Amino acid sequence: MLPYRDSRVTYVALGIFFLIVLGYAYFEARGLIFGPSITVPSKVTEVHDPFVTIKGQADRIASLSMNGKTITVTESGGFEEPYLLAPGYNRIILDAKDKYGRSTRQAIEIIYTPSTTDVPTTSSTPPVAE
């Protein structure tokens, strides 16, 4: 008779081993299970500067594009892309695709209102009354 045949330690060790295998399989299959994701501020924003930088995080992607133009992403999934706004309502579309062909889309809505700061006119000589 083998000493480890009915041992509780054997059952616990096998249980832990299979939990580790299942955890690793889940970790590796996340891309297949969840698909690509994009994290950016999605509320409507009003700005007074025509030049903005779109920043965010993209996970489990193979490519990322902004309004049809491919943008670069860091190894950790971060991206930062400058964008010039038109006066009024601007809608920026981010499209992400993963290596399995699935895609996701995130929209950013920005309202650009040019600042109306009146520049006061200064005169070096006071007006002369005649």
Q: What is the mean pLDDT of the segment spanning 34-49? A: 89
Any idea which of 64-78, 89-103, 112-126 has the lowest mean pLDDT? Answer: 112-126
Model pLDDT, residue 35:
87
Query: Cα separation of 63 and 44, whole Å?
Result: 25
For the chain, what are the domain ranges? 1-34, 35-112
The DSSP H or E segment spanning 47 is strand 45-47
Provide the mean pLDDT of the chain: 86
Given pLDDT bands bounded at 50, 70 and 90, which one contains residue 1? Answer: very low
The model's pTM: 0.69
- For 87-130, give the DSSP string: SEEEEEEEEEE-TTS-EEEEEEEEEE----PPPPP--SSPPPP-
Residue 117: predicted pLDDT: 64
Given a cut of 80, whether residue 106 has pLDDT beyond it is yes
Q: What percentage of residues in the chain have a pLDDT greater than 70?
A: 85
CATH superfamily of 35-112: Immunoglobulins (2.60.40.10)
Summarize the confidence of residues 96-106 as an average pLDDT: 92
CB-based contact 55:85 (threshold 8 Å)? no
Report pLDDT digits (tens) over 5-41: 668 888 888 999 999 999 999 988 877 788 899 999 8
Element (H, E) at 84: strand 78-84
